[in-house]
A and B are shown apart, each in its own frame.
Chain A
Amino acid sequence: MSRLLLMGGVAVLVSSLGLLRAQAPAESRSVWDGVYTEEQAKRGEAVYQKECAPCHGDMLTGGESAPPLTGGAFQANWNGLTLGDLFDRIRKTMPQSAPGRLTRQQDTDVLAFMLSVNKFPAGKTELYRQSEMLKEIRFESKKPAAKD
């Protein structure tokens, strides 16, 4: 636990100094570390509303047969996994009528929008567009304890 907290502290420090994200220890980052930008989330919203909202609802609350993409159940599903896992799920299976139809950039933007709706903080750099790199960002539903 203490190791995690310490690493989280490093990430915040790096972020606040505006250093390149590649310089942060890869395993230290989580969705709480400002891993997307507001601008990216806005782009993602436009894609989401066109491609995803018909099933998942324009507020991400899900439909009768499509799960919500926000809220406790959604976050519990992904808690402890990585953004790479979530990205792969989107890439492999969405939109359901034509999986893989969207570009990596569009999928990444949608992911950024989902993070913003789920109230994970925005930062200064955009999300990676490759699953292997996104696997370095942990999805943690619970905000880490306050750092010194």
Chain B
Amino acid sequence: MFLRKAKNAGLLCVSVLTALGFIPSAASAQYKPKDTEWPSYAADLAGTRYRPLDQINASNFNDLEIAWRIKTDNFGDRPEYKLEGTPLMVNGVLYATAGSRRAVIALNPETGELLWIHGEHEGKRGGAAPRQLSGRGLAYWSDGKEERIFYVTPGFRLICLDAKTGMRIPSFGENGVVDLKMNDDQEIFPDLETGEIGIQSAPVVAKDTVIIGAAFREGMTPRSMRNNKGYVRGFDVRTGKRLWIFHTIPKKGEFGYDTWEKGSAEYTGNTGVWTQITVDEQLGLVYLPVESPTSDFYGGHRPGNNLFGETLVCVDLKTSERKWHFQLVHHPLWDMDISSAPILADITVDGKPVKAVAQPTKQGFLYVFERVTGKPIWPIPEKQVEVGSVPGEWYSPTQPIPSKPPAYSRNGVSIDDLIDFTPALRDRAKEIASKYHLGPVYTPPTVSKLEGPLGTLTLGTASGGTNWPGGSYDPETHIAYLYACNACVEPIGLVPAPKEISDLNYIAGVAGNEVQIMRGPGENAGADSPKPPKKRTPSQYVPMNVDGLPLIKPPYGTITAINLDKGDFVWQIAHGETPDVVRNSELLKGLNIPRTGQETYNVGTLVTKSLVIAGEAQVTTTADHPRGAMLRAYDKASGKEVGAVYMPAPQSGSPMTYMIHGKQYIVVAVSGGPYSGEYIAYTLPTAGE
């Protein structure tokens, strides 16, 4: 056993190598990942989550059994119940982030044996981070001799490790670390220790550049219209030197600055790229899915269209020069972000080959562009949308709406979307909905009033459609597979922000309720605790359900297969067992309700040679299985379910697959509720077992 501690700027790192000499070396020639490996977060830099493996298939999926499992409780000073990672498997080793410390672990991919572990002890800086816990993953790089692992700590430091030992590589940055709060063309305020900026997604390594975005706290109720900005940077994979930076909020004199009226580009923050970045290494182009600017639901302090908020931006891999951009939502007001990796797809449209990029979204539109020029494959005309009446707000009169493919999940609320198992339930739902403003996609938020509306009832916003797990794509058949939440209803109301809470005119809230600063998991809740609640009246509590049944009618969660050559649906299915609350409801006794899927927004899919594989993100207890969730496999051609395997807890990170020594494995992160984080590897029984 080998243990070493290193000090860096007062921060402690620990690497432990548990089985020296066990780790294979990369071949001496330039290392080219094989299609039996999973070398980056989304399988490849194209964001496909696809591997052409077929040992596990429709005929045997039900035979899968657990090859190994690893709990992540001890990779941090407390267990984690929100394990979202997708491991890598490359050159015979499986790497993952794990635990509340966001440790990096290297495992034997056949047995799960721990080869090494690396952890960074960041003290207050880690404790104050806006995005804590284990994150979504890491990146691998090799030149054929050296192998490196990159990840970003909760405290926003880029760490470069020797993939063989888990030790920092001293020649990278300062002793293996690049402080991402430095050299960012802005001064992170209030200070480096507590300044709000971080990231939970996996770094991307393309050619010899490591690309890192930025994330912040939840943006519904910010304390200020001023915040740090989420620029994107590229670093030299060998030295850690900053190669470029892209200003997601343009600086004065840069293109797009004038889309921030009244000088609002100077103080507005956020607008980072918190999700996965996609790269076409051949073309040397990077695709940046940029999130919302400061204040998710109120933009009165940032008049204008706000480039590059909620914009897909294509930049040069070497220089970050902007090649093209397309703003999906002008003057964002719905927290639509762009929440997942763009998908690169070489398709055939009207008989002609096209290099395309397809962007899944929370709003359920799949935006498809020619990826060199940014020209939409199918027209995306500007259409008039409702202009709201929130005092001080600035509204875009139009929004771009794709003509093709059709929206693959609900993105507005009408009476027809409400629960309709029985007329009585529909009536109850109408009563609830009557307290809100309803409308199609891009119906703006309202000021919350006791006499109504309490807000705008929305679908396809904060947690709708496709979120961070993103979609999958089969490069052989040109079909994209997109999970979406169809029923993640979000009431968006605005209330005047008390000056002691925020300097914004309005923040998210409900009339009559105490104004609260909403926090993400793990944020420091000590110093500025909100005031004690005022007495509330029962009338202000409006549940988004009818006797526990979802307010919105099924399907609650779907997987849609979309042919990108044509822009048409191939199939759409409800994904996930009907929730217990629906299946067991006394109100629905005697009704024959087909599988509804589940109201969950964080399901990732995996595509193999013949299957689409996705777990459930909600627990059920049925006659067929005890309390748990199922990892389901569908025939990718038809959407027909062909198998399911039991998981003790919901899928909380997207599944991945690899093959080693003739055996295919599927690894998935599970956690949630009573179940702390665990990676589980499934494989087929060896013949004769």
Interface residues of A, Cβ cutoff 8 Å to B: 45-46, 49-51, 53-55, 57-59, 61, 63-67, 70-81, 85-86, 89, 92-93, 95-99, 119, 141-142
Contacts and interface: CB of A to CB of B under 8 A. Distances in A.
Given A59-B541, A64-B520, A76 B580 contact: yes
B55 to A, nearest CB: 33
Nearest to A118: B548
B253 interface: no
A63 B490 CA distance: 10
B610 to A, nearest CB: 31
A93 B79 contact: yes
Interface stretch (B10-18, B88-96, B525-533): B525-533
Contacts of B139: none
A7 B513 CA distance: 42
Contacts of A96: 132, 521-523, 525
B514 A75 contact: no
A59 B627 contact: no
Contacts of A95: 525
A99 B676 CA distance: 15
Contacts of A142: 580, 584
Nearest to B579: A72
B514 A54 contact: no
Given A54-B525, A72-B580, A73-B618, A89 B517 contact: no
A70 to B, nearest CB: 8
A76 B550 CA distance: 14
A120 to B, nearest CB: 12
Nearest to B128: A97
B78 A65 contact: no
Nearest to A63: B518
B672 A78 contact: no
Contact of A85 (B517, B524, B530, B674): B674
Return the 8 tightest CB-CB contacts between A and B, nearest first.
A77-B673, A72-B581, A49-B533, A54-B519, A97-B525, A76-B580, A76-B619, A72-B579
B58 interface: no
Most buried by B among A71, A78, A81, A96: A96
A57 B543 CA distance: 12
Contacts of A70: 543
Contacts of B516: 49, 53-54, 58
Given A76-B621, A93-B81, A142-B584, A98 B514 contact: no
A80 B518 contact: no
B380 interface: no
A93 B78 CA distance: 7
Contact of B580 (A57, A79, A85, A98): A79
B359 interface: no
Contacts of A65: 82, 218, 520-521
Nearest to A74: B673
B525 A76 contact: no
B125 to A, nearest CB: 14
Contacts of A71: 543, 545, 548, 581
B520 A97 contact: no
A54 B579 contact: no
9 contacts: A57-B518, A71-B543, A72-B579, A72-B581, A76-B619, A78-B674, A79-B627, A80-B621, A142-B584
A89 B674 contact: yes
Interface of B: 78-79, 81-82, 127, 132, 218, 220, 335, 462-463, 510, 513-514, 516-526, 529-530, 532-533, 541, 543-545, 548-550, 579-582, 584, 598-600, 618-621, 626-627, 672-674
B12 to A, nearest CB: 21
B513 A58 contact: yes
Nearest to B462: A64
Contact of B544 (A46, A61, A73): A61
A3 B621 CA distance: 20
A49 B581 CA distance: 26
A64 B523 CA distance: 13
Contacts of B220: 64
Contacts of B530: 49-50, 53-54
A75 B580 contact: yes
Given A55-B523, A76-B627, A80-B626, 18 more contacts: A53-B516, A54-B518, A54-B523, A54-B530, A58-B513, A59-B541, A59-B543, A63-B218, A64-B463, A65-B218, A76-B580, A76-B581, A77-B672, A79-B619, A86-B674, A93-B81, A95-B525, A119-B548
Given A58-B513, A80-B621, A72 B550 contact: yes
A77 B218 CA distance: 25
A63 B582 contact: no
Contacts of B548: 71-72, 75, 119
Contact of B674 (A53, A73, A81): A81
A50 B545 CA distance: 25
Contacts of A77: 619, 672-674
A66 B580 contact: no
A92 B81 CA distance: 11
A80 B627 contact: yes
A93 B545 CA distance: 28
A73 B600 contact: yes
